[in-house]
Structure 1
Amino acid sequence: MDLLIDECVPASVTEIFAKHKHSIVYVSRELGQKTPDRLVAETADENSLVLVTWNYRDFKRLGITRRPPNNKQQYRHAGMISFICDEDQGKRRAEQVIASIEFEYGQALKRPDKRLLIAIYIDRFIVHY
């Protein structure tokens, strides 16, 4: 997977993805500190990257969803893995679900809409089809 790592993602979570040989692009290195969410979403979309973030609500509002709020699909190529748990629980949750994430990514590549949209909670894992 080609991942865009948001500024809010702990290094310990990024290490899990790197250990599994996923391509990592850092928002802070490529776009700078405190990059506006819209620019992050545009970068993910333009480069067909899967955004990894703890900032689910803001990116959902921008429209990185299957059914955006305004019903206008702006980001047709950006995926998103959202952690909806405390940052200190992120590494453990990433370790627990990495195989499922990889499986779902493989399934997404078989669909016409190839975006991977996943929400990782403390007690569940949701794939948005």
Structure 2
Amino acid sequence: MRFFIDHCVPESVAKALEGQSRNVIRLRTKTAPDSPDTLVAAVAEANNAVLVTLDPDFKAIAARTGVGRRRFKTLSLIRFERCRESRTAERLLVALSLIDHEWNVGQDSRDRRMFVVITPESIRTHR
């Protein structure tokens, strides 16, 4: 599994993933940091990577119904919600075993997309 780190995500998240020997792609290496959200989603999907973001707009882009379903059929998303930036890396590392599990379960499914929402109090998955 690859992780595509959005520009709004602290560098500590990318470094924490790399510290766990994870494949990390930073948005700034693939496109401009101020790229529109739809381009960011398309680049993450083209790189077969799970998009990691703090941006709430991606919830609608990656939605299962409407335009999102037809346009981004394989986009997986990890989104931080109400998390202080200083705690995002810590929260992601806590969630990593669940994320791995969800990813592996999804590989046997027709709809392989994975949606994970990480808050200060919870970790939710949506399939």
TM-score, shorter chain, exceeding 0.5: yes
Residue 47 (structure 2) pairs with residue 47 (structure 1): yes
Residue 125 (structure 2) pairs with residue 127 (structure 1): yes
The secondary structure found in structure 2 opposite 1:45 is helix
User: For residues 47 and 122 of structure 1, what CA distance do their matches in structure 2 show?
Assistant: 29
User: For residues 105 and 71 of structure 1, what CA distance do their matches in structure 2 show?
Assistant: 20
Identity of aligned residues (%): 27
CA-based RMSD = 1.6
Q: CA deviation at 1:71?
A: 7.1
Equivalent residue for 1:89? 87
Q: How does 1:52-63 map to 2 (within 5 A)?
A: 52-55=52-55, 57-61=56-60, 63=61
Equivalent residue for 2:7? 7
The secondary structure found in structure 1 opposite 2:9 is coil
Residue 17 of structure 1 aligns with an amino acid whose one-letter code is: L
Cα distance per residue 1:68-120 (max 9 Å; x no partner): 4x575310011110011121121221121111111111111121111121111
Cα distance per residue 1:12-53 (max 9 Å; x no partner): 111222122221111112102211111101112233221000
Alignment size in residue pairs: 126
User: For residues 114 and 69 of structure 2, what CA distance do their matches in structure 1 show?
Assistant: 18
TM-score normalised per structure 1: 0.88
Q: Assess if the C-alpha contact under 8 Å between 1:50 and 1:80 holds in 2.
A: yes
Equivalent residue for 1:64? 62
For structure 2, the residue ranges without an aligned partner over 5 or more in a row are none
For structure 1, the residue ranges without an aligned partner over 5 or more in a row are none
TM-score normalised per structure 2: 0.89
